[in-house]
A and B are shown apart, each in its own frame.
Chain A
Amino acid sequence: MIDQSIIALLLLVNLRMFATSRVDSLVRCVAAQAFLLVCLAVVTHEGSLSWEAWTFLSVTGLVKCAALPALMTRALRSAGIRREVEPLVGYRVSLFIGLAATGFSVWAAEKLPMPAGAADPLVVAVALISMITGIFLIVARRKAISQAIGYLAMENGIYVLAPALAVHGPLIVETGVLLDVFVGVFIMGVIILHIRQEFRHIDIDRLSELKD
């Protein structure tokens, strides 16, 4: 029952990411998403967790729920943005795209050929939804920071999918990915600051007007 509640909460968080216009709420959502996904990994794990797994999970939790959101919030504050004013896809339409994505993920998770001993199809579905949320944010939002959040959401999804599919030893790979993501977001924060200082906004579209 606990895992089902976590899945339900994750669905809500993902749909909120589709529908919200506030960038700070997006940051909180991605942190909550990461937290719930770590909880899901703990709850769905069969048997007792080894100390390596505990260490890995707590490091992931710390980085994804505390460090990355803190970096994001700092970038937000220095760039002085609060909401995405003109998204490429409106918020109501986004919400229904989110619903369609949920339906598609559940359908696809049932159809995917899974290795024996793999996780509950709903866990796979939630991983797929998180990935689709991320891709959607990257495609449909203009602000650089929303797109970076989309990238994080996508990584969160992959993070759940990896242990669900590869039954043995995905942790070491994930640790490497975690480092990459951390550095990625760090650099993104710096870049956003520089774009902001140079052009007084962080809309990606207008970068196409750059000439040498």
Chain B
Amino acid sequence: MIADTFAALGGVALALVLSPFLRTIIDRTKARMAGRQGPPVLQPYWSLARLLRKGAVYSSTTTWIFRAGPVVTLATILGALCLVPFGGRPALLHFEGDVLLMAYLLGLGRFFTILAALDTGSSFEGMGANREAFFSALGEPALLLGVAGLGAITGSVSLSGIYGRIGTSAFLGAHMPAMIFILATFVIVYLTENARIPVDDPTTHLELTMIHEVMVLDHCGTDLAFIEYAGALKLWVLGLLITGLVFPVHTGSALLDACVTLACMFVLQIGVGLVESLVARLKMGRTPLLLGIAFVMSALWVMWVVR
């Protein structure tokens, strides 16, 4: 019991320290694919440190909601981090139904980002908020339905229970197609939630095409650092949902499990970088179709599980 708590704390500490590094992996992969060298390895950390030293400027149009936005975003993602198991071990907090808490903590964070964007009174930010609300409303049912499928396969409604019980047998047994469909859904939701190509382009600077980036345009200094850090943690938290599925091996040694999970996480980021280099961003009007496909695939597990 105590050992489990320490292992979970170790997982959280790893996330807090290493999550900005995931950005480096993505950026470096993209740079390599384009024939450039890419930013220094510690660049995300330097950026965060630089932002934290700066003060913030607030427009006179904004209210306390605008200031609360980044804080709530970071707080909710930290809460979600405590609920997601690392390397097949139970998470710091776990109880029946924590799946819903995780999904809605992410939802609350997004809600406040959207409110803060609307609070600036800028029409561009309103447009970004509009798109974010639309796409996440389409992505959330897919995520929940996929997790529900995992719950039905493993007979648990807690994230720790689900990821603790998934083994290689789940992939090799009769549920194999269901698992693959759920995995595919998670990958699409991962790219959507983290504002990555093919849904959103994190490097674009044209307001007409931006989704997530346009919502944080008016934040600066410490606020922007909070948002950037929360974004990095989100890459980590949702990434854990995928790595737990891709490599469901429990060796018995907490250290070995952690190393395997970390390696999977880094490979996942290289995958994201490759997708960003090789795939064009979808036209805005086509994105709902992609999320629709994610939803349909997450619904297909029913065929193999509920018989």
Contacts and interface: CB of A to CB of B under 8 A. Distances in A.
Contact of B300 (A92, A95, A102): A102
A128 to B, nearest CB: 12
Nearest to B291: A92
A4 B176 contact: yes
Interface string B267-305: 000000000000000000000110011001101101110
Contacts of A103: 299, 302
Given A11-B300, A102-B300, A102-B303, A19 B174 contact: no
Contacts of B34: none
Contacts of B292: 19, 92, 95-96
B172 A1 contact: yes
A122 B178 CA distance: 13
Contact of A7 (B177, B297, B299): B177
The residue in B181, B288, B300 that gathers the most chain A C-beta atoms within 10 A of its C-beta is B300
A8 B176 CA distance: 10
B157 interface: no
A199 B274 CA distance: 46
A189 interface: no
Given A5-B176, A5-B177, A8-B181, A106 B296 contact: no
A19 B173 CA distance: 30
Interface residues of A, number: 21
B287 to A, nearest CB: 11
B289 A4 contact: no
A1 B174 contact: yes
Given A92-B288, A99-B299, A4 B293 contact: no
Interface string A85-128: 00000011001101100110010001000000000001001000
B138 to A, nearest CB: 10
A95 B173 CA distance: 29
Given A91-B289, A92-B289, A122-B303, A4 B296 contact: no
A23 interface: no
Contacts of B176: 1, 4-5
A96 B299 CA distance: 11
Given A92-B288, A102-B303, A19 B172 contact: no
A4 B288 contact: no
Contacts of A4: 174, 176-177, 304
Nearest to A125: B303
A208 B174 CA distance: 51
Contacts of B302: 103, 106
A7 B301 CA distance: 12
B288 A8 contact: no
A185 interface: no
Nearest to A4: B177
Contacts of B299: 99, 103
Nearest to B178: A8
A15 interface: yes
Interface in A7-53: 7-8, 11-12, 15, 19
Contacts of B303: 11, 102, 106, 122, 125
Contacts of A102: 300, 303
Interface in B176-202: 176-177, 180-181
A8 B289 contact: no
Contacts of A7: 177
B177 A96 contact: no
B282 to A, nearest CB: 13
Contacts of A95: 289, 292-293, 296
Interface string B151-184: 0000000000000000000001110110011000
Given A1-B174, A102-B303, A8 B296 contact: no
6 contacts: A5-B177, A11-B300, A15-B296, A106-B302, A110-B307, A125-B303
Interface of A: 1, 4-5, 7-8, 11-12, 15, 19, 91-92, 95-96, 98-99, 102-103, 106, 110, 122, 125
Given A4-B177, A5-B177, A8-B300, 14 more contacts: A1-B176, A5-B176, A7-B177, A11-B300, A15-B293, A95-B289, A95-B293, A96-B292, A96-B296, A99-B296, A103-B302, A106-B303, A122-B303, A125-B303
